[in-house]
Amino acid sequence: MIAVDIGNSQLHFKAPTGSAAVPWDRLAAESHGTDRHGTDRHGADRLWEALQQSPLAPLLRETHPETACDWWISSVNPPATAALRQALATQRPLDRCHEIRSVDVPLGDRLQNRAATGVDRLLVAWYASRFFEPTATGSLVVDAGSAVTVDWVDAAGDFRGGMIYPGFAVSGRSLQRGTAALPPVTAIDLQAPLPLPAGTSTQAAIEAGLFWSQWGGMCSAIEALQKFAQRTTQAEQPATGTSPLGLAWLEPPQVILTGGGIAAFQSLLPPHWRWEPDLLLRAILEWADRHISAANTVSPAAADSAGNPASGGEDHR
């Protein structure tokens, strides 16, 4: 079983042979367009080459039927997902891909359009709300990658929405593209010691601005959403559950952070915030285990008569 997180910048995977990340920019550097099915065959070849240089290599070299793998995929990047599917169809045709959809995540919600909500947001919210003890006002899940999402799951386990804003790399590229003379700055530049607030060169000033605006924005987003969760929870309480102390009697939601963009802030994180770097991959594996267990409890005849509605979006090749 291999868990795969296909994001806008990287593919992350977790398998028995190890975990790693494959950056998409490296794969797309020599793209030659798509075929008649819309698949970037060169991108698929490049992806396969990268996977063979990753901790997956020993597993991928085994092509016997008994070594066929199930790939459980959470994706917000359809072209990259198509490249992975193409690579597997060509190189490991016995493997099976199961793409998890937003509607498959066992999480209640108060959303306007659940199907349009990223499956990654729903999966980490589901996992955090089920496997970390929430407060009376629930949990906040912060996932920092190409975009930063700050989402609220209430104490009843319902996804209540949240915020999305640009992450390090997107902000840096936007600044460079929108100006005539400013140089590019990547998130990698910000992993070293904390930038001084007063940069004494253009490069240092950009690094300082990106870093401290990202940190300040994250803290402000968390604070605003915590207060919103407290107010909303209090308003939804029965009259007998209110208190003259106002919001003070309601503990704010716990804060759980994940994603590669959090690493730069590690030394600044308050001790009561939980940093769980591989939260999405753990959520994928947990969802897959539950899906497999549920499928094994359904008789073949019942599954056939129902059209196998619990397929979880799987695609058997």
Distance CA 128, CA 123 (A): 9
How far is residue 133 from each of residues 91, 154, 254, 283, measured CA to CA in Å? Answer: 43, 12, 8, 16
* Other Cβ atoms closer than 10 A to 58: 11
How far is residue 301 from each of residues 68, 114, 305, 310, measured CA to CA in Å? Answer: 25, 31, 6, 14
Largest CA distance in the chain: 71
**Element (DSSP H or E) covering residue 314:** strand 314-315
Are 8 and 146 a contacting pair, CB within 8 Å?
yes
Which 8-state DSSP code applies to residue 138? Answer: B
Q: Which of 291, 294, 275 is nearest to 101 (CA)?
A: 291
Which 8-state DSSP code applies to residue 30? Answer: T
Distance CA 36, CA 39 (A): 7
For the stretch 96-122, what's the b/e string if a residue is b when 16 or more beta carbons lie within 10 angstroms of its beta carbon?
A: ebbbbebebbebebeeeebeebbbbbb
For the stretch 231-245, what's the b/e string if a residue is b when 16 or more beta carbons lie within 10 angstroms of its beta carbon?
A: ebbbeeeeeeeeeee
Residues taking part in catalysis? 120
